[in-house]
Structure 1
Amino acid sequence: MLLSLAVRDIILIDRLDLTFRPGLNVLTGETGAGKSILLDALGFALGHRGRADLVRSGAEQGEVVAEFDVRGNATVADVLAQAGLPGDEDSLLIRRTNTRDGRKTAWVNDSRCSGEVLRTLSAALVEIHGQHDDRGLLDPKGHRDLLDDYAGSAPLVEATRASWLALAKAQRALREARAQLEEARKDEEFLRHAITELDSLDPQKGEDAELDIVRRQMQAAGRLREDVQRADTAIGPQGAEGPLNDALRWIEGAAAALDGLADPSVAALERVLSELSDAQSGVSALLDTLDFDPLELERIEERLFAIRGLARKHGILADDLAAFAEDMRSKLVEIDSGADQIAGLEADLTRAQHDFDTAAQALHAHRVAAAARLDAAMAAELAPLKMERAVFATEITQAPPSAEGTDTVVFTVATNPGAPSGPINKIASGGELSRFLLALKVCLTTRADSLTMIFDEIDRGVGGATADAVGRRLSSIAQKAQVLVVTHSPQVAARGGHHWRIAKSVTDGMTTTDVTPLGPEERVDEIARMLSGDRVTDEARAAARTLLSD
């Protein structure tokens, strides 16, 4: 319950301190006096953005302080706990300021908090039915959400939304897999031919370089072997070795007659022949090294050229052929296993479709049951508003599947039995429309006992007995909840348990709005003004007393 509202330098309000009470609180005043400014101020305190010209002219900062009785309001306690804000079992104090340059600051129980926290608290404290919020009730696009709020369908809506997302994911996965398989099958013939060709050659990483080295060595050996062969002949028996052996034999034959003079020559020749033998062995070994099979060279060249040709064909490096072959095999495996994958994804899609259908059907059943309760509640609300013959119906029809289920929800009315039903704003007259909207707002407020309900000119367009019926219904609602009503109707104002008059005045060229609590006689004069206009007559006062005493 709203206990008090203190406003400083907001729009036309200089300084204002109001204390509200349980029951029906009515605020009246002439058109343009600033009745809605109070609602703007309260909305600002509760986290709403507020008007651009919120700060009063000449002031540097505007401030609104609202105090609420929150005893028994578990939702408020939960919001405070989650936000890490201090709580009080009995009351909640909200203060919010706005500077001329637009900077906004808020406190809850003297601790700083965000506008988001204020708006969350607002939903647990106040429900404001303003002059401009009827569009949501009249627009069929919002009727499904309104019914879900009334029914408490949030868990079922969330489950349906989750299953819809899972269904969309399964559909997308199957669609993409089918497209990939179709695309892959276009290349299937090429893949199989390429894999056969690659498997037949079986190129290994690094093989190109190894074969090239061996080929170069063989080609070089062919040119070098001729020279090594000549060297072998030159130092062999047909070359240097034969004459040196003859020379040694000849010197040794003469050595006996030379008394040792030939010994150095003999030793030298023996050394030369020994070195020559070593050289001859080395050259022979070199010849063996340079010896190769021309057919082997031809085989190596054929494989090397085949590897390089295949690399050019596929536009890759020779060293990448092995990895390329593995990639081709993987693609072929995907094609071969594609049917199994598609079957698995189709099974996933079937399960996802079943889950969505189940969730949507549960949500549909919940909505149908809630629609019946809402229709019955509306019938009960319309009777005291002198519309007992009117029929309100919540029509639920099938809609294309979506994240919100498979239902379209539309609120329809028929003003008389047997009359065709249709959208509220097309069937109901001005006075009927106000009463339908009042009844609907009351029914959709599922937590009226823990909320302060605020109605801004809900009685517009009605008068006489109909206005009296609206006032009686508001008074009845106020027996279990605090209700604040901004009204132009004397019949509604007369039903108030507490009455404030809002008036605008000009002092020293400055316009301000004042709010004054009214006593019994002052209420008579105010209701008389509402009945007769600026000139209050004795007859108007008498009529006002009659309304107040009824």
Structure 2
Amino acid sequence: MLTALSIRNIVLIEALDLAFGPGLGVLTGETGAGKSILLDALGLVLGNRADSALVRSGEDQASVTATFEFAALPAPLKEALDDAEVEIEPGEPLLIRRRLKADGGSKAFVNDQPVGVALLRSLAGSLVELHGQHDDRGLVNPRGHRALLDRYADADVAGVTAAWESWRKAREALEQAEGAIEQARADQDLLLAHLSELTNIEPEEGEEETLANSRADMQKGEKLAGDLEDLRTVWDGSDSPLASLRVAARKLDRIAVEHPLLAEALAALDRAVIEAGEAEEKLQSAAEAMLHDPQELDRIETRLFELRALARKHSCQVDDLPEVMRTMRAKLDAIEQGDADLANLQKAERDAHEIYRGRAEALHATRVSAAMALDEAVAAELAPLKLDAARFKTAVADQPEEKWGPLGMDSVEFLIATNPGADFAPLNKIASGGELSRFILALKVALAEQGGAATVIFDEIDRGVGGAVASAIGERLARLASGTNGEAGQLLAVTHSPQVAARGATHYMIAKSSEGTVTKTSVASLDDAGRQEEIARMLSGAEITDEARAQADRLLEGV
């Protein structure tokens, strides 16, 4: 709730520090005293547009600081602060400061960390709910009506949300499968043609390297064919050097025993014959390896060309072609299997849809029943608030399936008709701000909750009424401020009604004073005697009489 408001140099306010507590706080003062300045100042820290005209005349800048404290930080506030990377420790107050320059421009801070004004606006809905002449938030905004009705009905929205998520996932799985099969069927003829082409060639992993090596060897053989032929003549025939060495070795073998040097010569000659023989064998093997067969070379080159052309066609390496074939076969198999899988997914989607629809219809019935009860509860509050000719209706409408969602299939909006026979219209279409505020009060009392905001402000809810109606308004404001489950809320009311003012747990008087050409607005928290005097003034006008004081006492004692 709002615990402190510090204002510096805003219009007629030079310096003002206010402390607020739980329960009903009332703000009173003569017309023109500056009550609207307080609301304008509070609006700055809630993200309203910064108008340099708010800066007090003769000052360079103005500032407003609001302090909010919570037993536990509400989830929406924590989420917004986390998203903005603003740190706040558990139990630490939330300080929002807005600084405004006279020459234009403003800066915003949350717990002394610079932030954008957009963050202030996102926090505002959980901090302060303002009902007044131009209210377009809180209960007036139709976007929150469904959640309010569900809270009133204690509806099982979580079960519908879970069913929606299951249906959404089943629907997505079905759509993906249908898309995949549709695409596969569109590609089926092309897949069959490509697979036939690959099957005719039947590529093998590692085949490219083997073929390339064989082609390289044959090309080398073709290049060296003349030299190899010349070398072959060295070894072939009876007149070849190798044959002559062998003849010499046989002759030397017969006489080697005659002298040691002859034996050594024989050994050297034998080695030469052996090595020459090894050389002959290697040359023969090399010639066979590099044998140039023009037909085989043409076959290898044709095969390589076909394989590489297919690899380019499928944007892959030659060695990847077998995997491409397997992938194509798998896609074709999936088309055949797809119908069976699709049937299972269709059944799962239908089942999930039916579960969601059943829960959403049950939620719809709960909402319709709760709407009737809420309409009766609000109707009971209208007559005491001088709205006995008005009618209230909670419209729960089925939406087309394309608008169904995790919160069900309904749209919910609070509607009112202010005169007999008049058509129902949204709350925010009401012409009279006083009527609107009293409708909001009646709705809040019927809902028995505080609309989600930490602090609720009613701006002149008692405009145009008095007597018993004003007393009824005050009684309901006090009841709302007392909270539920024993936990007091915080409600502030700007009022001209002594009956409402008498209900306040705290009373703030706003006054304007002048010293020469300088005019200032001040706010004072009143004690018991001050309250009696202020309420007496509200009862009697400019001149406070003893009778007015006595009547003020009766009002204060009556609460």
TM score, norm. by length of structure 2 = 0.70
Match of 1:524 in 2: 536
- 1:42-441 alignment, distance < 5 Å: 48-49=46-47, 52=50, 53=52, 56-57=56-57, 58=59, 62=63, 64=65, 83-86=88-91, 97-100=97-100, 102-104=106-108, 127-134=129-136, 137-138=139-140, 140=142, 142-148=144-150, 150-151=152-153, 156-157=156-157, 160-161=160-161, 163-218=163-218, 220-221=220-221, 228=228, 231-233=231-233, 235-240=235-240, 275=272, 279=276, 282-283=279-280, 286-287=283-284, 289-291=286-288, 298=295, 301-315=298-312, 316-388=316-388, 390-400=390-400, 401-414=404-417, 419=421, 421-423=423-425, 430=432, 433-441=436-444
Q: Distance in 2 between matches of 1:242 and 1:134?
A: 115
Contact 1:195 1:325 in 2 (8 A): yes
Match of 1:515 in 2: 523
Q: Distance in 1 between matches of 2:322 and 2:454?
A: 75
Q: Distance in 2 between matches of 1:177 and 1:197?
A: 28
Contact 1:63 1:95 in 2 (8 A): no
2:445 to 442, 446, 451: 442
Distance 1:240 1:143, change over 3 A: closer
Contact 2:181 2:335 in 1 (8 A): yes
> Tell me, what secondary structure is at the counterpart of 2:343?
helix
Q: Distance in 2 between matches of 1:514 and 1:246?
A: 134
Gaps of 5+ in 1: 88-92, 530-535
Contact 1:241 1:273 in 2 (8 A): no
1:441 CA displacement: 3.7
Contact 1:236 1:280 in 2 (8 A): no
Distance 1:208 1:301, change over 3 A: farther
> Tell me, what secondary structure is at the counterpart of 2:397?
strand
Whether 1:456 aligns to 2:454 is no
Amino acid at match of 2:331: K
Match of 2:512 in 1: 504
> Tell me, what secondary structure is at the counterpart of 2:519?
strand
Distance 1:368 1:272, change over 3 A: same
1:158 CA displacement: 5.3
Distance 1:379 1:451, change over 3 A: farther
1:405 CA displacement: 1.7
> Tell me, what secondary structure is at the counterpart of 2:409?
strand
Q: Distance in 1 between matches of 2:248 and 2:22?
A: 144
Q: Distance in 2 between matches of 1:4 and 1:234?
A: 115
1:174 CA displacement: 2.6
> Tell me, what secondary structure is at the counterpart of 1:85?
coil
1:145 CA displacement: 4.0
Moved more, 233-242 or 114-123: 114-123
Q: Distance in 2 between matches of 1:408 and 1:75?
A: 30
Q: Deviations over 1:279-316 (max 9, x none)?
A: 46743663465348999874564255234214314525
Q: Distance in 2 between matches of 1:441 and 1:51?
A: 28
Distance 1:268 1:232, change over 3 A: farther
> Tell me, what secondary structure is at the counterpart of 1:411?
strand
> Tell me, what secondary structure is at the counterpart of 1:309?
helix
Distance 1:112 1:370, change over 3 A: farther
Contact 1:395 1:409 in 2 (8 A): yes
1:486 CA displacement: 1.4
> Tell me, what secondary structure is at the counterpart of 2:520?
strand
Q: Distance in 2 between matches of 1:414 and 1:436?
A: 11
Q: Distance in 2 between matches of 1:231 and 1:6?
A: 111
Identity fraction in percent: 36
Contact 1:24 1:474 in 2 (8 A): no
- 1:32-47 alignment, distance < 5 Å: 32-41=32-41
Q: Distance in 2 between matches of 1:78 and 1:505?
A: 41
1:406 CA displacement: 0.7
Amino acid at match of 1:525: R
Q: Distance in 2 between matches of 1:229 and 1:359?
A: 94
Greater C-alpha radius of gyration: 1
1:51 CA displacement: 5.8
**How many residues are matched?**
516
Amino acid at match of 1:182: E
TM score, norm. by length of structure 1 = 0.71
1:222 CA displacement: 6.3
Contact 1:493 1:499 in 2 (8 A): yes
Superposed CA RMSD in Å reads 5.3
Amino acid at match of 1:48: L
Distance 1:215 1:528, change over 3 A: same
Q: Distance in 2 between matches of 1:67 and 1:294?
A: 96
Contact 1:472 1:495 in 2 (8 A): no
Match of 1:533 in 2: none
Distance 1:280 1:161, change over 3 A: same
Distance 1:399 1:151, change over 3 A: same
Contact 2:455 2:492 in 1 (8 A): yes
